[in-house]
Structure 1
Amino acid sequence: MRSKMMGMMVLVLGLVMFFGNSCQKKEPKLTEATSVSGSKNEPAWVTMCDAAFPDAGKEAFYGCGAVNGITNPGLEITTADARAKTDLSRKLESWVGNLYEDVMKSAAISEQNKKNKVSEAQGTQFVKDVTKQVTEMTLYGVQTVDRWRGPDGTLYSVVKVSFDNVAQTMKKQMAARAKEIELDADKALEELDKELEKRRESGN
């Protein structure tokens, strides 16, 4: 009788462990079916770009591009890198713009704008102009991280720029142009530093 009960307990325990493990979320693995190129040897960044790098958003920003059908080797490399830079530029413009908007919406800056009668439209245009300039200037510091050729001949490229490079450019532009909307440059830089630190910690 005791042996039967022990047998039942072992069976139940085994079933619980089986179904428990089955329900656990498994990390996706790169396969021929899930990769962009169809190759198991494909670098993770070809499919995932930023997500393939642990320091993305905290220490660096990444952009990815690809080209197929160009027979001139030099032009092919230049085009792949240029497309990766375009991807990075788009991401940076969004990231920088959102961060500047958060700075402008902070209590300290909002109070200044109200006091100086800076309209919402003026603030929005200021953010737009400074964001564009920061993005353009930051791209001069872009580095090519890697290139890889897929089975079909497609050349993939990934580029990056450091977080510090972006942060320093943002600070310089904020300090230089704060007076355009009568912002206290020191206060604006203080708020900018706070937001940059938040983003570095979160990686977003």
Structure 2
Amino acid sequence: MKGMKKIVALLLALGLVVALAACGGGKKEPEVTKQTSVSGAANEPAWITRGAGAFKEDTGGLAFYGVGIAQGIANRALEMQTADTRARTDLARALDTYVANFMKDYMASAVASDMSSSEEEQFVSSITKSITETTLVGSQIINHWRGPDGTLYSLAMLSFDDVANGMKREMKKRSAEIKMNADDAMKELDVQLQKRRESGN
């Protein structure tokens, strides 16, 4: 009987350990395996597998990321510069898509103007380019990793707040183009940005 009690107690303790292990962590990074990894390595950082885009940070904030690679370059300084430049280019593409979609949604839901669809399209394209170019200056290279085949990977990051501030600066300058009161345009922009910040996309 005593032996049975010991076994039951041991099983309960083991179950508790497993349950606690399952509850730990909480990170929502993609699971990296040899099959899912870009480099073919199971220890590849999740940011490489995930790629470019807008993602929630561990702190809960939103940020934009881009990944660059360099391979076959003997000069280490040039290799790193190449990977970093490509990471920023990748980030710029992700940012460009995000800002363009955001501005289209903003124009559709917030702006009561008599702009034609072609004028609206031209405005969105123009302001997207300006926002991407001006905010990209604040991007940072925050990580590097070398794959098993020697390929160097670089991670560029830009905070959502930097992008939001860039949008506000541009809209302040150009609200007249959409025939909207500057204060109204800024208020609505703040509302839309807050929605994106909270939703994480």
Instruction: Answer yes or no: same fold by TM over 0.5.
Output: yes
CA distance in 2, matches of 1:163, 1:176: 20
Q: Do structure 1's residue 66 and structure 2's residue 66 form an aligned pair?
A: no
Shift of 1:33: 2.4
Q: TM-score, normalised by structure 2?
A: 0.79
Unpaired segments ≥5 residues, structure 1: 1-26
CA distance in 2, matches of 1:98, 1:31: 33
Larger radius of gyration: 1
Unpaired segments ≥5 residues, structure 2: 1-28
CA distance in 2, matches of 1:28, 1:181: 41
Shift of 1:167: 0.1
Q: TM-score, normalised by structure 1?
A: 0.78
CA distance in 1, matches of 2:135, 2:54: 22
Amino acid at match of 1:31: T
Counterpart of 1:87? 90
CA distance in 2, matches of 1:124, 1:176: 18
1:161-185 CA distance string (max 9 Å, x none): 1110000010000010111332211
Q: 1:41 aligns with which of 33, 40, 43?
A: 43
Does the aligned pair in 2 maintain the 1:84–1:158 contact within 8 Å?
yes
Does the aligned pair in 1 maintain the 2:172–2:186 contact within 8 Å?
yes
Residue identity (%): 52
Query: Which structure carries more relative contact order (alpha carbon 8 Å, separation 6+)?
Result: 1
Q: 1:154 aligns with which of 147, 151, 154?
A: 151
Does the aligned pair in 2 maintain the 1:44–1:52 contact within 8 Å?
no
CA distance in 2, matches of 1:28, 1:109: 38
1:99-118 counterparts in 2 under 5 A?
A: 99-106=102-109, 108-110=110-112, 113-114=113-114, 118=115
Counterpart of 1:176? 173
CA distance in 1, matches of 2:138, 2:94: 15
Shift of 1:28: 6.6
Q: 1:120 aligns with which of 117, 121, 137?
A: 117
- The answer to which structure has the higher helix fraction is 1
Structure 1 consecutive aligned stretches of length 4 or more whose deviation exceeds 6 Å: none
Amino acid at match of 1:70: I
